[in-house]
Structure 1
Amino acid sequence: MTNVWCVRAGGGIYADNFISGGFVGIGWREITEDLGPVRNREQLFSVVRRYFPDIQSAILLSNYVNEIHRFLFEIRPGDHVIIPAAEADLLRFGVVDEGRAYYDPTGDDGCPLRHRRPVTWSPEPLRLDHFSAPFRNSIRTLLTVPAHTRMRSLLTVFLVEHQAEFIRAIGRQETTAPARSTTRKEESHRSVLEQLLQLDPGEFERLVVHLLDALGFQDWERTEHHGVLRDVFDACGDISLSLPARIRIHARFHRGNLGARIGADAVRELRQFIPFGGHGIFITTADFQPAATTAAGEEGFARISLVNGQQLAELIAHHWTHLPGDIRDRLSLEQVLVKN
C-alpha cells in the first residue's frame, strides 16, 4: 500500500524549486554531508549527535532523528508526496521516484533545502476546495500552526490523514505494486558511479580524456566556458561519420549527485556553445527530468544527446579495457559485467 506524505516546503516558498528540480527537500542546514549512505536509525543517530553536540535532551535528539528518518526511510518509492503551493488555495503533488536520498552542496538552484529525494511532480496542482473540510483542516492545521507550539517533526514531514480521499481526488485507484528488485548489473553500475564521484579533479579529467578518445573524438580541445570546474568538463571536437565527412560535437561531462535530475535550463544552457551545424552531448552521473529530454530535441535548434548515469556506466564498461589500470582500480567494475 502506498502512503501519502506531506513535506512542508517552507509554507510554499520553495514549491517552484521542487517542481522545476524534480525533488522534494528538507532543511537541516547544520548537517552538511550526504545522508544517502546512511543505512539505519543507529547510523543516523550518530550523525545527528555529531552535528548537534550541545543537545542534552534525549527526547529532543530523538525527535530530530525521527523526522529525518521519516524522510530517508519511511517515505518509499511510489508513495505520494504533497506540498503547499505558493498560492494558499492550491496543493502540489507528485510520486517519489526510485533512488536514494541525496545532498546538494551547491544551492545553485536557489533552494537552501539540500537534503533531497527525487520526485516526479504532476504538472497541474489540486484545489484545496475540492477536498472535504476534515482533509483541509488536517493539512492547514499542521502547515499553519506556529513553529514554537509544535514539535518540529510534525511540521516538516508527516503522514497525511484521509489518504483515500486524496487517491480519489487524483483519479487513481490504490494498488499494491510489487517491489522492483535491483539487479547485480544495476548494483555494479551504481558502485562505479559512486567511485567516479570520489575521483579527484585530475583523475576525473584523465577518465574524460580516455572516454573522448574511445568515443572517436578527433582534434578535440577542452573549452572552459565556466572556467576550470571540479565536476564539469567541456570539450569540442570532430567525429567521423561512415561517409567521408565529420560532424562537430560539443560534449559536456558532468558529475552530479546520484538521484539528482538535471532540468531543461541546464540543457538549453549547453546549446549556446554548440557550433553551427554541430551536435551536443550531455553526459552525467545523475539523471534527467522529462523536461530536459524535451528541451534536448526542440525543433529548430541543435540537437543534444543525453547520457544518464546508467548509460555512462555502460559506456565505461564497454571501453573498460582501454582505460588506465589505476583508473580501473578506482572504479572497481565487476569484470563479469565488462563487455568485450
Structure 2
Amino acid sequence: MRAWVVRAGENGERERTALDEGLLLVGWDRLRMGDLADATTRDGIRAAVTAAYPEEGPYTVGNWAGQLHRFVHQIRPGDLVVLPARSGLVAVGRVTGDYEYRPEAADGMRHARRVDWLVTDVDRQSVQSDLLDSMGSLLTVFELSRFGAAERVAALSEGKPDPGRPDADEFAATLTEPTRHAQ
C-alpha cells in the first residue's frame, strides 16, 4: 500500500465536488485531447502537455507530465490518498478505481479517479510536523513515502492520531543521549 497527496485545485476549486462525489480530480483544463490512459509513458503524457500548454517551458512541462503520469499510471486501487482541504482539515480516502477521462465534466474535472473517503475532518494538529511538512509540497500529485507515511496515513484513516515516525524513539535517543567521555 502506498499513500499519495492529490490536491483539489490551487484554491480548492475542486474540493467540494471531490468530497461529495467520491473523486480525485486534477486540473490541467486545457488537456482536452482525451483519455491519458492511452499515453502509456511519461513521454506520451509530456507530448500531450506540451501540445496543450505550448507557452510553458521544459521544466514545467516535465513536472506536470510527471504528476499526471503518477495520477494515471502509478496510483492504484487500494492506495491511500490525502486531500489537504482549504479549511485546514485533511480528508483521507482509499482509491477504488482506475483513471477515468470524463469528457462531459466541467473544466478541471475531467481527469478523475474514484475514491472512498474514509474520514474528511482530520485536524492537522493530529498530524506530526514531519508528515504535515511532507503534505505541504506545492505539487498537485505526489507520493508520501518517507518515515512510514503509508502506515501513518492508515492510522489517520481510522480516526487515530498520527503515531509519528517509526524511528522517532531511536532518533530522539541519539539527540538526547549524553556524550560519554573516555576515562
The TM-score, its normalising length taken from structure 1, stands at 0.41
User: Given the superposition, is the C-alpha separation of residues 122 and 65 from structure 1 closer, same or farther in structure 2, using an over 3 Å criterion?
Assistant: same
Tell me what 2:171 maps to: none
Tell me what 1:100 maps to: 99
Aligned match for 1:165, one of 109, 130, 152: 152
Asked if the contact 1:78–1:97 (Cα under 8 Å) also holds between the matched residues in 2, the reply is: yes
Q: Any residues of structure 2 matched to 1:46-57 within 5 Å, and which?
A: 46-55=47-56, 57=57
Say if 2:136 is the partner of 1:131.
no
What is the deviation of 1:94?
A: 0.8
Measure the CA separation in 1 of the matches of 2:127 and 2:105: 38
Measure the CA separation in 2 of the matches of 1:121 and 1:74: 19
What is the deviation of 1:130?
A: 1.4
What is the deviation of 1:48?
A: 2.0
Task: Tell me the percent identity.
Answer: 27
Measure the CA separation in 1 of the matches of 2:108 and 2:50: 22
Measure the CA separation in 2 of the matches of 1:31 and 1:169: 34
What is the deviation of 1:114?
A: 2.2
Letter of the 2:139 partner, please give it.
Answer: L
Length, aligned pairs only = 154
Spell out structure 1 runs of 4+ moving beyond 3 A. none
SS of 2:93's partner is: strand
What is the deviation of 1:123?
A: 5.0
Letter of the 1:157 partner, please give it.
Answer: V
Structure 1 residue ranges without an equivalent (≥5): 143-153, 173-340
SS of 2:116's partner is: strand
Q: Any residues of structure 2 matched to 1:18-167 within 5 Å, and which?
A: 18-32=18-32, 33-55=34-56, 57-88=57-88, 90-107=89-106, 112-139=108-135, 141-142=136-137, 154-160=138-144, 161-162=146-147, 163=149, 164-167=151-154
User: Given the superposition, is the C-alpha separation of residues 112 and 46 from structure 1 closer, same or farther in structure 2, using an over 3 Å criterion?
Assistant: closer
User: Given the superposition, is the C-alpha separation of residues 4 and 44 from structure 1 closer, same or farther in structure 2, using an over 3 Å criterion?
Assistant: same
User: Given the superposition, is the C-alpha separation of residues 76 and 119 from structure 1 closer, same or farther in structure 2, using an over 3 Å criterion?
Assistant: same
Asked if the contact 2:97–2:114 (Cα under 8 Å) also holds between the matched residues in 1, the reply is: yes
Asked if the contact 1:12–1:83 (Cα under 8 Å) also holds between the matched residues in 2, the reply is: no
Measure the CA separation in 1 of the matches of 2:55 and 2:156: 45
Q: Any residues of structure 2 matched to 1:327-338 within 5 Å, and which?
A: none
Letter of the 2:129 partner, please give it.
Answer: A
SS of 1:98's partner is: coil
Report which of the two structures shows the higher radius of gyration computed on alpha carbons: 1
CA RMSD of aligned residues (A): 2.4
Q: Any residues of structure 2 matched to 1:1-340 within 5 Å, and which?
A: 2-10=1-9, 11-32=11-32, 33-55=34-56, 57-88=57-88, 90-107=89-106, 112-139=108-135, 141-142=136-137, 154-160=138-144, 161-162=146-147, 163=149, 164-171=151-158
User: Given the superposition, is the C-alpha separation of residues 13 and 84 from structure 1 closer, same or farther in structure 2, using an over 3 Å criterion?
Assistant: farther
SS of 1:68's partner is: helix
What is the deviation of 1:135?
A: 1.9
What is the deviation of 1:35?
A: 1.8
Asked if the contact 2:71–2:99 (Cα under 8 Å) also holds between the matched residues in 1, the reply is: no
User: Given the superposition, is the C-alpha separation of residues 119 and 30 from structure 1 closer, same or farther in structure 2, using an over 3 Å criterion?
Assistant: same
Tell me what 1:206 maps to: none
Measure the CA separation in 1 of the matches of 2:86 and 2:54: 35
Measure the CA separation in 1 of the matches of 2:55 and 2:125: 44
Measure the CA separation in 2 of the matches of 1:82 and 1:104: 25
Asked if the contact 1:15–1:84 (Cα under 8 Å) also holds between the matched residues in 2, the reply is: no
SS of 1:24's partner is: strand
